[in-house]
């Protein structure tokens, strides 16, 4: 089995972050909560993030300190996959509290990777 590609993992994470930001741009919490299409798409991207981050950190454990918000996203994924109803408050909180920082951290890592 080949070694996972650092850049590929970061790109997948960056893509999910970008899609969440795109889907929710300009929305209030109430607008988000009332739009099943949007919250379903956002939850799916958080599930992707929550699966991709541990795989990347397992392959590259030295990155754990560079991505301190990762555990919050992984925890949210567990909430989402076990929930029988949408977890709007938890998702919105992660969207506001952890996603922007994670997106910036991934951008910085991609920039460092590109310059090396």
pLDDT, one tens digit per residue, over 64-98 is: 999 999 999 999 999 999 988 878 999 999 999 99
- Contact yes or no for 70/57 (Cβ under 8 A): yes
Which token pair is 20?
Answer: 């969440």
Quote the pLDDT of residue 15: 96
CA distance 15 to 112: 17
Rounded to 10°, the helix 70-82/36-59 angle is 130
CA distance 17 to 69: 13
pLDDT, one tens digit per residue, over 7-38 is: 888 899 999 999 999 999 999 999 999 999 99
């Amino acid at each position: 089995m080949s070694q996972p590609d650092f850049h590929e993992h970061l790109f997948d994470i960056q893509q999910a972050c970008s899609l969440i930001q795109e889907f929710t741009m300009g929305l209030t919490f109430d607008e988000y909560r009332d739009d099943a299409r949007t919250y379903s798409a956002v939850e799916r991207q958080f599930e992707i993030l929550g699966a991709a981050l541990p795989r990347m950190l397992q392959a590259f454990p030295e990155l754990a300190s560079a991505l301190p918000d990762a555990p919050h996203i992984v925890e949210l994924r567990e909430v989402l996959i076990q929930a029988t109803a949408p977890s709007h408050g938890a998702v919105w909180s992660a969207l506001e509290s952890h996603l922007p920082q994670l997106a910036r951290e991934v951008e910085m890592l991609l920039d460092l990777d590109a310059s090396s």
